[in-house]
Amino acid sequence: MSKLPDIKTNFAEWYQEIVQQADLADHAPVRGCIVIKPYATAIWENIQSMLDARIKATGHQNALFPLLIPQSFIAKEAKHIEGFAPELAIVTHGGGKELEEPLVVRPTSETMIHYMFAQWIKSYRDLPLKINQWGNVMRWEKRPRPFLRTTEFYWQEGHTAHETLQEAEQEVLMMLAEFVNFAQNVLAIPVITGRKTKSEQFAGAEATYTFEGFMLDGKALQMGTSHLLSQNFAKSFEMRFQNKDGVMEYPHLTSWCGCTTRLIGAIIACHGDQKGLILPPQIAPIQVVIVPIFKNEDQKALVLKKAFELENILKQAGVRVFVDQKEDTPGAKYYHWELKGVPLRLELGPRDIEQNVATASLRTRDKKQAFAFDSLVTLVQDALQCVHHDLFVRAQERYAQQWNKIEKLDKFGNLLQDKAGIYQAGWCQSGQCETLLKDFQGSIRCIIDSQDFKECFACSMPSQGDVIIGKSY
């Protein structure tokens, strides 16, 4: 393994090297696509299983819908087709013949799912209908970057139908809160929540709510969204139900996505350091690695026996643990597991065994500690919680350093372009003022629930509320 590029001066190259050297992904022969390798797949499976449990606990059921969507479906909602047209992959031939109607490889499933909802929803008794799908989607990507931006990626997408607008709004905000909780309490990534501007909201939606993370290089990453579609798509697909009074109505719809393989990129870009990846303990495939240390065969037998005993104790406590038996030096093993982001390392040698301890090294701290065998499970569990806490606090402190409250674009525009970061300012809600940010490679990431500024960042009109501005992936 080669030395990693400097994370502070060459973040983009550092990121690419982490993906390669930590064995997370490889480039596929299709431009913009990647092969997600077993280690990153295990991270994704842990993320997926945890969020899937929460989605089901909030009253949703999983279903699977077709990958191919008739092109006419996409065109039914005018803003939807306008928003997705540049990203579509279209199948024109199948079975050796030209298709009567081209099929779109799904960029998202609103149209297919809403077509089916229209067949299923006939009465108020059929509502609410709350469906989630895990699958893959395709959006043609012009500037690919592993995990953060790929042509094909994996995700979940929730779709619900409700009798009233109020119920739909409650659904949108409930799922946004679930995703924010996951980002902060599982992935250890602080996020900023708010509403997207009209130019940035989901194509065809009435409102889009987002949670944005800011990475080590100061750039924003949209980690997930929750959309109030209301009745727009219902009308496009003639989705109607008979209410309690016998009157035909259109249901109010939502869609939301807070879990994609982009989250793996967020973990890399938010928590890494010069040694490599740092994985939040709850989703790490290996939470604890045990490194046996010995000088001869007699010591090897003694140390490995104890290592396997400790492994068994930790596994019974639900800890994901691995004993590294590779023929390599301890130093090389330390480097390897630090690069791969394992939260906790236990070093075990003959002297440790004599003292009934393992030497522990937390991935987020330099100082080593002695963990007594008779308290090992408790000490390991506490250490994993410490790693999560360290990661979250580090990120919060970085946000505080990156956060700038500056009134006018002529004061912060060049700073934004040169250094990225979080910029809070007022906005008059004019699209013309919003467009000026493009000159500085920035955009409004979200409208927040705050009003510290009286005037718009670009003009002298009164501010209608504060916004978060940043450069993004």
pLDDT of residue 398: 97
pLDDT of residue 143: 87
Same domain assignment for residues 463 and 356: no
Domain hosting 455: range is 406-470
The total number of structural domains in the chain stands at 3
Residue 291: which CATH number?
3.40.50.800
Does any domain span residue 42?
A: yes
pLDDT of residue 342: 98
The percentage of residues in the chain with a pLDDT greater than 70, rounded to a whole number, is: 98
Are 359 and 420 spatial neighbours (Cβ–Cβ below 8 Å)? no
Query: Does position 286 have pLDDT exceeding 80, yes or no?
Result: yes
Same domain assignment for residues 267 and 286: no
Query: Does position 74 have pLDDT exceeding 90, yes or no?
Result: no
Are 127 and 161 spatial neighbours (Cβ–Cβ below 8 Å)? yes
Same domain assignment for residues 329 and 394: yes
As a whole number of angstroms, the distance between CA 453 and CA 413 comes to 17
Does any domain span residue 2?
A: no
Phi and psi at 395, nearest 5°, equal -65, -40
Does any domain span residue 276?
A: no
Q: Could you tell me how far CA 26 lies from the centroid of its own chain?
A: 19
Domain boundary among 379, 399, 419: 399
Same domain assignment for residues 163 and 188: yes
Please give the C-alpha separations between residue 137 and each of 67, 105, 211, 389, 461, in angstroms, as whole numbers: 8, 7, 21, 34, 42
Same domain assignment for residues 303 and 328: yes
pLDDT of residue 141: 87
Same domain assignment for residues 43 and 101: yes
Does any domain span residue 102?
A: yes
For range 445-458, the mean pLDDT: 96
The whole-chain average pLDDT of the chain stands at 96
Same domain assignment for residues 72 and 156: yes
Domain boundary among 399, 426, 455: 399
Same domain assignment for residues 111 and 19: yes
For range 437-455, the mean pLDDT: 97
For 316-373, how does the pLDDT look when each residue is reduced to its tens digit (9 = 90+)?
Answer: 999 999 999 999 999 999 999 999 999 999 999 999 999 999 999 999 999 999 999 9
Query: Does position 1 have pLDDT exceeding 70, yes or no?
Result: no
Does any domain span residue 148?
A: yes
The 10 Å CB-count burial string (b at 16+, else e) for 232-252 is bbbebbebbbeeeeeeebbbb
pLDDT of residue 79: 65
Same domain assignment for residues 286 and 419: no
Same domain assignment for residues 59 and 179: yes
Question: What proportions of the chain, in percent to the nearest 5, are helix, strand and coil?
Answer: 40, 25, 35
Helices 38-57 & 165-185 angle (0-180, nearest 10): 140
Are 132 and 158 spatial neighbours (Cβ–Cβ below 8 Å)? yes
Look at the pTM and tell me if it is higher than 0.85: yes
Query: Does position 82 have pLDDT exceeding 90, yes or no?
Result: no
Query: Does position 83 have pLDDT exceeding 70, yes or no?
Result: no
Query: Does position 87 have pLDDT exceeding 90, yes or no?
Result: no
Same domain assignment for residues 257 and 288: no
Does any domain span residue 5?
A: no
Domain boundary among 340, 373, 399: 399
pLDDT of residue 230: 83
Query: Does position 442 have pLDDT exceeding 90, yes or no?
Result: yes
Are 419 and 218 spatial neighbours (Cβ–Cβ below 8 Å)? yes
Reading the block at residue 148, the tokens are: 């953060």
For range 207-229, the mean pLDDT: 97
Does any domain span residue 1?
A: no
Does any domain span residue 421?
A: yes
For range 5-27, the mean pLDDT: 97
pLDDT of residue 125: 98
As a whole number of angstroms, the distance between CA 449 and CA 195 comes to 9
For range 76-102, the mean pLDDT: 84
For 394-419, how does the pLDDT look when each residue is reduced to its tens digit (9 = 90+)?
Answer: 999 999 999 999 999 999 999 999 99
pLDDT of residue 256: 97
Contacting residues for 2 by C-beta, under 8 A, at least 6 apart: 17, 21
Residue 445: which CATH number?
3.30.110.30
Are 270 and 212 spatial neighbours (Cβ–Cβ below 8 Å)? no
Same domain assignment for residues 266 and 393: no
Q: Pick from 285, 273, 270, 262: which is nearest to 184 by CA?
A: 270
For range 229-258, the mean pLDDT: 95
Residue 125: which CATH number?
3.30.930.10
Q: Model confidence at 206, in pLDDT bands (50, 70, 90)?
A: very high
For 163-187, how does the pLDDT look when each residue is reduced to its tens digit (9 = 90+)?
Answer: 999 999 999 999 999 999 999 999 9
61 three-class SS: strand
Query: Does position 78 have pLDDT exceeding 70, yes or no?
Result: no
pLDDT of residue 323: 98
